[in-house]
Amino acid sequence: MLDKTINIINEETFVGEDNLTYKKVTYEIKTPRKTYLKGVISGKYRGIKIEDDFADLFDFEIYEANVISESRDDFRADKPFVFATDFESVFKRKKIKGEKFPKEKLPQDLPVLIIANEKSFGVNVLEPQLFEFEIIRKLHQIEGDEIFGSFNAYITGYIIDYTTEIKEEIILVESEETLQPEPIVTCLASSIETGKIETRNNYIRREYKCKNHKDNVWGNWEYENKGSNSNFYSNTNTGCFNQVFGILGVLLGLAFLIFLLPGILYIIAYFSIILILGYLGPHLKLVFRIIGILFLLGFIASLINSFNQQSHTYNPKPLIVDSPREISPIIEPVKDIVTDNTENTENDSILTRYRSWKDYAGNKYEGKYQIKLSDYKKAHLFKTSIKTDQNSINEYDRIIFNLKEFDKDKIPSIYKLFDSIGNAKKLDKIKFAEMIVSFVQDIPYALVLDKECNASLYSDQFTKNYLLSNKGDCSGNQRFGINTPVEFLVNLKGDCDTRTLLLYSILNHYNYDVAIMSSEFYGHSVIGINLPITGITYIYDNQHYVLWETTVPNAKPGNIPNEISNLNNWRISLKSK
Strands of 211-334, DSSP E = 216-218, 222-223
In a domain, 144, yes or no: yes
Q: Does one domain contain both 356 and 291? A: no
Q: Does one domain contain both 526 and 432? A: yes
Q: Please classify residue 376 by burial: count the beta carbons closer than 10 Å to its beta carbon, then call 0-12 exposed, 13-18 middle and 19+ buried.
A: buried
Q: Does one domain contain both 444 and 376? A: yes
pLDDT score, position 261: 57
Handedness of CA 95, 47, 324, 540 (dihedral sign): positive
Q: Does one domain contain both 465 and 366? A: yes
Q: Does one domain contain both 143 and 260? A: no
Q: Does one domain contain both 307 and 454? A: no
- Axis-axis angle for helices 373-385, 393-407 (nearest 10): 160
Instruction: Note the pLDDT tens digit of each residue in 255-299.
Output: 555 555 555 666 776 667 766 766 665 555 566 567 667 767 766
DSSP state of 426: T
The answer to which of 26-40, 153-167, 379-393, 416-430 has the lowest mean pLDDT is 379-393
pLDDT score, position 342: 37
460-483 burial code (b ≥16 CB/10 A, e <16): eeebeebbeeeeeebbbebebbbb
Query: Given 163, 180, 207, which residue is the final one in a domain?
Result: 163
Closest CA to 230 of 58, 43, 108, 111: 58
Average pLDDT for the chain: 77
Q: Does one domain contain both 426 and 550? A: yes
In a domain, 249, yes or no: yes
In a domain, 384, yes or no: yes
> Please, which pLDDT band fits residue 338 given cuts at 50, 70 and 90?
very low
Q: Are 189 and 2 in contact (CB under 8 A)?
A: no
Count CB atoms within 10 A of the CB of residue 375. 20
The identity of residue 173, as a single letter, is: V
Give the chain's length.
Answer: 577
pLDDT winner (highest mean) among 13-27, 416-430, 461-475:
416-430
Q: Is the pLDDT of residue 477 over 80?
A: yes
Query: Given 255, 282, 311, which residue is the final one in a domain?
Result: 311
Instruction: Note the pLDDT tens digit of each residue in 179-213.
Output: 445 554 567 777 777 767 777 666 778 887 776 66
In a domain, 381, yes or no: yes
In a domain, 215, yes or no: no
146-167 burial code (b ≥16 CB/10 A, e <16): ebbbbbbbbbbbbbbeeeeeee
Q: Does one domain contain both 157 and 261? A: no
Mean pLDDT in residue range 316-322: 32
> Please, which pLDDT band fits residue 244 given cuts at 50, 70 and 90?
very low
Strands of 51-188, DSSP E = 57-68, 75-77, 109-116, 119-135, 141-143, 146-172
Q: Please classify residue 42 by burial: count the beta carbons closer than 10 Å to its beta carbon, then call 0-12 exposed, 13-18 middle and 19+ buried.
A: buried
What's the count of helices (H) and strands (E) in the chain, helices before strands?
A: 9, 21
CA distances from 242 to 13, 230, 238, 360, 499 (A): 76, 21, 6, 68, 54
pLDDT score, position 287: 64
What distance in Å separates the CA atoms of residue 547 and residue 526, rounded to the nearest whole number? 7
- Percent residues over pLDDT 90 in the chain: 24
Q: Does one domain contain both 303 and 422? A: no
- Bridge-partner residues for 57, per DSSP? 50
In a domain, 321, yes or no: no
φ, ψ for residue 126, nearest 5 deg? -90, 145
Instruction: Note the pLDDT tens digit of each residue in 414-438.
Output: 999 999 999 999 999 999 999 999 9
φ, ψ for residue 7, nearest 5 deg? -120, 135
What distance in Å separates the CA atoms of residue 476 and residue 478, rounded to the nearest whole number? 6
- Percent residues over pLDDT 70 in the chain: 72
Query: Given 111, 133, 163, which residue is the final one in a domain?
Result: 163
What distance in Å separates the CA atoms of residue 505 and residue 525, rounded to the nearest whole number? 15
Closest CA to 136 of 145, 125, 147, 128: 147
pLDDT score, position 417: 95
Q: Does one domain contain both 408 and 547? A: yes
The identity of residue 31, as a single letter, is: T
Q: Is the pLDDT of residue 317 over 50?
A: no
Peptide bond into 84 cis (omega under 30): yes
Total domains in the chain come to 3
What distance in Å separates the CA atoms of residue 255 and residue 253, rounded to the nearest whole number? 5
Q: Does one domain contain both 302 and 409? A: no
Q: Is the pLDDT of residue 175 over 60?
A: no
Q: Are 22 and 29 in contact (CB under 8 A)?
A: no
What distance in Å separates the CA atoms of residue 189 and residue 212, rounded to the nearest whole number? 8
φ, ψ for residue 555, nearest 5 deg? -80, 115
Predicted structure pTM score = 0.45
Instruction: Note the pLDDT tens digit of each residue in 70-127.
Output: 788 888 888 898 888 888 776 655 567 778 888 877 888 888 888 887 788 788 888 8
What distance in Å separates the CA atoms of residue 377 and residue 406, rounded to the nearest whole number? 12
What distance in Å separates the CA atoms of residue 418 and residue 368, rounded to the nearest whole number? 10
Count CB atoms within 10 A of the CB of residue 401. 21
Domain that holds residue 263: 240-311
Interacting residues of 457 by C-beta distance below 8 A, sequence separation 6+: 451
pLDDT winner (highest mean) among 97-106, 309-318, 381-390, 408-417:
408-417
pLDDT score, position 367: 93
What distance in Å separates the CA atoms of residue 377 and residue 487, rounded to the nearest whole number? 9
The identity of residue 25, as a single letter, is: V
In a domain, 326, yes or no: no
What distance in Å separates the CA atoms of residue 202 and residue 226, rounded to the nearest whole number? 7
Q: Does one domain contain both 371 and 459? A: yes
Q: Please classify residue 486 by burial: count the beta carbons closer than 10 Å to its beta carbon, then call 0-12 exposed, 13-18 middle and 19+ buried.
A: buried
In a domain, 319, yes or no: no
pLDDT score, position 465: 80
What distance in Å separates the CA atoms of residue 318 and residue 518, rounded to the nearest whole number? 15
Q: Are 31 and 49 in contact (CB under 8 A)?
A: no
